[in-house]
């Protein structure tokens, strides 16, 4: 999509997004749903064609549904059946199977896909929103504070023409080598994890007849991973020795010793080498994610080792967390304290997932030959640990920490900051559809007329949890009568005093333009 001439020099846009990958396009789509004028500036004209991310969970799938692409994503993805831990001889040490049925979030817990296909889908979906514009083949050269906003100096890579754009907000979604991060003076803090891995993508029209889950080779000598990505796409990842590089594996004959356990009986002629590349898996997080109205999202803010498949998903979580806060702040409803909550909530959540990825990676691959021997001895017995199997296969991520938009108390810490179940309601719609893009009050109590007016005046919707329903049982388990659900599905606050909870709903218009005077946030 081209940008109107008005945006080719010195013009203003509400939100400028630097980087048109999955995180940037997700943020642009969410903002467009709130009627926010958004411009995506992407260095490359086309989607990068090589496979990269291959997994997302049901929580992130829920974000795709919010974008309006759930059905289309289902057509290009496949549920994974869990995790199988094997040794170098392919002996199964442990298996953690997942039911491919829908979870509390309304989607399969683990989903495999091809990133270029997803990116094309996201970009095409963005064209549905006239207030979101995509400008490819454009490089951002400089970002600086300006009167009443942030100024970006940009250049068309094809012709070299430079121009300037002023934005109210700038989102840095420009990856691990982010110039936005450099511009705001943020630095990456290392998690002291750097491993070089070989990544292999192969196409094959024949079924390899392997277990339809992720295979993790738990071997300190040559750790590895195998997974089926699509109908005819397969991915392998292998740790490289210190003396090895991608140059040692230029073709299928060189790769055969690595992939042979999964491709026996399949001729080279039936295998298409789509890509072989060397990646350094790192654990890093930026020391700050915001400077004024400039924010970092995705790989610009954090890098997660791939052992739990949360790298790309973390960026989409960033976008989902921030977009509605910018919408509320831009309309004058809230002060910058709400924008502060973005880093407060997301940075800790990301650190926890990075820590989990490191723990899983070390547990599966570290310790030399002694570690390999211990895994061979202990892993076949992990099913004897009460509750461990359920914990490993549970896709639920940690709760968000307390912030102006998460009010946790000793009595509600198990529910506040977590996603509300996206249950199927009696109306035939799921909770997210019923609540829409604003706030919701989920309650087992019938609201009084005064309570209903209070909720409606704040632009929120009410969902009644009838006795015996999944939603009512969820509230009952947490010993609360109602919960206020944020636009991203997270519980802001919960409790038994329904009137107090109705008053706690922030004023927020769904996707309607801001009207009338500004309102203060309830906390202020």
pLDDT at 495 over 50: yes
Task: Check residue 95 and give its pLDDT.
Answer: 85
pLDDT in tens, 48-105: 888 789 999 999 999 999 999 999 999 999 999 888 889 888 999 888 888 778 999 9
113 near 79, Cβ under 8 Å? no
Instruction: Tell me how far CA of residue 524 lies from CA of 105, 135, 266, 335, in angstroms.
Output: 33, 39, 66, 9
CA distance 478 to 473: 9
Task: Check residue 389 and give its pLDDT.
Answer: 59
Location of each CATH 3.40.30.120 domain in the chain: 418-504
What DSSP line would sit under 303-367, residue for residue? Answer: E--GGGS-HHHHHHHHHHHHHHHHHHHHTTSS-HHHHHHHHHHHHHHHHHHHHHHHHHHHHHH-S
- CATH placement of domain 190-282: 3.30.9.10
Of 55, 58, 21, 24, the C-alpha closest to 394 is 58
Q: Going by DSSP bridges, is the β-strand pair 38-41/132-135 parallel, antiparallel, or unpaired?
A: parallel
Location of each CATH 3.30.9.10 domain in the chain: 190-282
pLDDT in tens, 106-145: 999 999 999 999 999 999 999 999 999 999 999 999 999 9
Q: Which CATH class is domain 12-54+115-187+287-361?
A: alpha beta
Location of each CATH 3.50.50.60 domain in the chain: 12-54+115-187+287-361
Backbone angles phi, psi at 227, to 5 degrees: -160, 150
pLDDT confidence of 512, banded at 50, 70, 90?
very low
pLDDT confidence of 191, banded at 50, 70, 90?
confident
pLDDT in tens, 342-357: 999 999 999 999 998 8
Task: Check residue 390 and give its pLDDT.
Answer: 59
Mean pLDDT is lowest, of 182-186, 326-330, 509-513, for: 509-513
For residue 500, give every residue at least 6 positions away whose Cβ sits within 8 Å of its Cβ, in sequence order, or none. none
Task: Check residue 391 and give its pLDDT.
Answer: 56
Which long-range contacts does 465-470 make (Cβ < 8 Å, 24+ apart)?
A: 466/426, 469/423, 469/425, 469/426, 470/104, 470/421, 470/423, 470/424
pLDDT confidence of 5, banded at 50, 70, 90?
very low
pLDDT in tens, 250-304: 999 999 999 999 999 999 999 999 999 999 888 999 999 999 999 999 999 999 9
The C-alpha angle with vertex 431 and arms to 428 and 434, in degrees rounded to 5, equals 75
pLDDT at 515 over 70: no
What DSSP line would sit under 90-128, residue for residue? Answer: --EEEEEE---S--TTSS-SEEEE-HHHHHHHHHHHHTT
3-class secondary structure, 11: strand
pLDDT at 511 over 60: no
CA distance 470 to 424: 9
Task: Return the CATH fold of 418-504.
Answer: Glutaredoxin (3.40.30)
């Amino acid at each position: 999509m081209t940008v109107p001439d008005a945006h080719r020099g010195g013009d203003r846009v509400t939100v400028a997004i630097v980087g048109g990958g999955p995180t940037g396009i997700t943020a642009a789509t969410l903002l467009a749903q709130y009627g926010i004028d958004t411009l995506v500036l992407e260095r490359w004209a086309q989607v990068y064609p090589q496979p990269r991310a291959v997994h997302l969970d049901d929580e992130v799938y829920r974000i795709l549904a919010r974008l309006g692409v759930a059905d289309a994503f289902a057509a290009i993805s496949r549920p994974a059946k869990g995790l199988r831990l094997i040794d170098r001889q392919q002996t199964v040490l442990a298996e953690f199977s997942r039911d491919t049925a829908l979870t509390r979030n309304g989607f399969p817990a683990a989903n495999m896909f091809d990133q270029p296909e997803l990116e094309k889908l996201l970009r095409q979906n963005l064209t549905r929103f006239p207030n979101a514009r995509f400008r490819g083949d454009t490089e951002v050269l400089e970002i600086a504070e300006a009167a009443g906003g942030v100024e970006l100096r940009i250049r068309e890579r094809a012709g070299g023409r430079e121009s300037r754009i002023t934005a109210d907000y700038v989102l840095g979604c420009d990856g691990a080598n982010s110039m936005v991060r450099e511009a705001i003076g943020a630095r990456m803090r290392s998690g002291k994890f750097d491993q070089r891995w070989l990544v292999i993508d192969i196409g094959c029209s024949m079924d390899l007849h392997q277990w339809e889950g992720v295979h993790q080779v738990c071997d300190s000598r040559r750790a590895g991973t195998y997974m089926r990505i699509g109908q005819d796409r397969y991915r392998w990842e292998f740790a490289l020795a210190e003396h090895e590089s991608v140059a040692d594996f230029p073709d299928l004959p060189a790769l055969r010793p690595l992939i042979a356990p999964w491709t026996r009986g399949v001729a080279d002629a039936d295998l298409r080498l789509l890509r072989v590349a060397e990646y350094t898996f790192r654990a890093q997080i930026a020391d700050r994610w915001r400077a004024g109205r400039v924010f970092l999202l995705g790989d610009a803010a954090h890098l997660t080792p791939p052992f739990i498949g949360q790298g790309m998903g973390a960026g989409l979580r960033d976008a989902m967390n921030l977009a509605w806060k910018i919408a509320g702040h831009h309309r004058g409803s809230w002060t910058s304290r709400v924008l502060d909550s973005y880093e407060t909530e997301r940075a800790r959540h990301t650190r926890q997932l990075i820590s989990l990825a490191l723990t899983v990676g070390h547990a599966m691959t570290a310790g030399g030959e002694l570690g390999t021997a211990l895994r061979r001895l202990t892993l076949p017995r992990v099913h004897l640990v009460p509750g461990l199997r359920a914990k490993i296969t549970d896709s639920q991520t940690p709760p968000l920490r307390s912030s102006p938009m998460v009010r946790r108390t000793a009595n509600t810490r198990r529910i506040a900051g977590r996603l509300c179940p996206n249950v199927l309601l009696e109306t035939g719609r799921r909770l997210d559809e019923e609540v829409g893009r604003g706030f919701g009050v989920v309650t087992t109590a019938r609201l009084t007329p005064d309570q209903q007016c209070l909720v409606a005046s704040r632009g929120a919707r009410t969902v009644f949890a009838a006795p015996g329903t999944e939603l009512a049982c969820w509230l009952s388990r947490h010993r609360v009568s109602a919960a206020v659900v944020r636009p991203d599905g997270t519980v802001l606050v919960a409790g038994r005093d329904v009137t107090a909870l109705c008053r706690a709903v922030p004023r927020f218009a769904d996707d309607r333009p801001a009207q009338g005077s500004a309102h203060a946030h309830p906390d202020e």
